[in-house]
Structure 1
Amino acid sequence: MHQLHSYLNAYASNPVTDEDFEIIKSHFTNKTLRKRQYFLEEGEICKHFAYIIKGAMRKYHVDDQGKEHVVDLYIENWWAGDLESFVMLKPSIYYVDACEDCELMLITNESKIKLCSQLPSFNQFLLKLDERNHIATQRRITSTISSSAKVRYDDFASCYPEFLQRFPQHIIASYLGITKETLSRVRSQVS
């Protein structure tokens, strides 16, 4: 729980007081996932968003040919889930599963809405988080459609060096939109 409090304070405009954090904490539930266990499966509605205390997760889509396309990677102090399904109550087109054993803190959309109206600091935190996620998504889309595999890998390695140790090469390759063979070739150029 202390980890979440520190995380909130790192992004909130005003520090989250101990009293406010007790209110925030009361809206979360704890969950553990084993490696390879699903947090969300395609067709389900994402009823919770997960703050990762410990572990690593991925979000991916499976196309008509059965090929996995990794959309997001998550580690400690990241949020995992399908935002569209969570907010719009639509069945998800994604799978979210654990790449390592995970300890999570879950929040429902209803609790998120209550916290935003109850605590301006929590609302400001979510606005900042949304801004940062939007910027990161724009950069990723631009990189995917206009950068070489080497540039994409170099950007990924420089922004998320810890991911290189936490996720297998085939997952990183899928996230970057390249084959495992291309990733191996690019990595050998770096070494």
Structure 2
Amino acid sequence: MNPELRKHFEEIIPLTDEESGYLDSFFKTKKLKKHQYLIQENESVTHLFFVVKGLLKASLTDKEGKEHIIQFAVENWWVSDFQAFYNNVPSVTNIHCLEDVEVCGISKEDLEKMCSENHKIEHFFRIKNSFGYVALQQRILSLLTTNAKERFEQFSNQYPQLLQRIPKTIIASYLGVSRETLSRIQKKV
């Protein structure tokens, strides 16, 4: 099993070597280059991905052609178009590599099989889904209740490592501000 993926599981559940081998049989490694897409809008989404290495952004393009960044995904994070993955509908998001990326993917069928056969694995994914839901709720509440400066401060405090890895234009888009507004905020902070 990929050592990073095993370590990630073991943050929540202990694994024996046998369980690790069992899990490994379900995950497939995929490598992508910077600027490639892991998932594109209107595709069928059959896999959930664990990020071993690299940085991705998930975004939606509206009818006017404006990109809205939903989330970033870095090492030890999970990423997919979750609505498409769980509901068997076409993807509404693009997941684009901002760096060279290595991911471990698992299909929905294999995920369901693993969870039905092993309570510890089901527990792991329940906890991860709960964490993801909380993070999404926090992001939505932040967008609804804070100003641009407060959103930047929250982002900087929560993800300081991303400030060096993500171009300012993309950070501005994630925060819902222009690049110029972000520059003004950064000068004041």
Which bin holds the TM-score, normalised by the shorter protein?
A: over 0.9
Is 1:155 aligned with 2:126? no
**TM-score, length of structure 1 as denominator length:** 0.96
- Shift in Å at residue 43 of structure 1? 0.5
**SS state at 1:16 partner:** coil
Taking the TM superposition and a 5 Å limit, the aligned residue runs for 1:32-181 are 32-181=31-180
Q: 5+ residue gaps in structure 2?
A: none
Count of matched residue positions in the alignment of Structure 1 and Structure 2: 188
Contact map agreement 1:11 1:129 (CA 8 A) in 2: no
- Shift in Å at residue 180 of structure 1? 1.1
Contact map agreement 1:20 1:119 (CA 8 A) in 2: no
Instruction: Tell me which amino acid in the other structure corresponds to 1:163.
Output: L
- Shift in Å at residue 47 of structure 1? 1.2
In structure 1, the partner of 2:7 is: 6
**TM-score, length of structure 2 as denominator length:** 0.97
- Shift in Å at residue 129 of structure 1? 0.7
Contact map agreement 1:149 1:178 (CA 8 A) in 2: yes
Give the distance between the partners of 1:189 and 1:160, measured in 2 at CA: 19
Give the distance between the partners of 1:182 and 1:40, measured in 2 at CA: 30
Give the distance between the partners of 2:12 and 2:157, measured in 1 at CA: 22
Give the distance between the partners of 2:19 and 2:141, measured in 1 at CA: 39
Q: 5+ residue gaps in structure 1?
A: none
- Shift in Å at residue 65 of structure 1? 1.4
State the identity %.
36
Give the distance between the partners of 2:173 and 2:179, measured in 1 at CA: 8
Give the distance between the partners of 1:110 and 1:38, measured in 2 at CA: 23
- Shift in Å at residue 167 of structure 1? 0.9
Give the distance between the partners of 2:6 and 2:150, measured in 1 at CA: 36
**SS state at 2:11 partner:** helix
Cα RMSD (Å) of the superposition? Answer: 0.9
Deviations 1:122-145 (A, max 9, x none): 111111111111111111111101
**SS state at 1:11 partner:** coil
**SS state at 1:161 partner:** coil
- Shift in Å at residue 11 of structure 1? 2.2
* Deviant stretches of 4+, over 2 Å: none
Deviations 1:64-102 (A, max 9, x none): 111111101011111111111001110011100100001
Give the distance between the partners of 1:89 and 1:74, measured in 2 at CA: 22
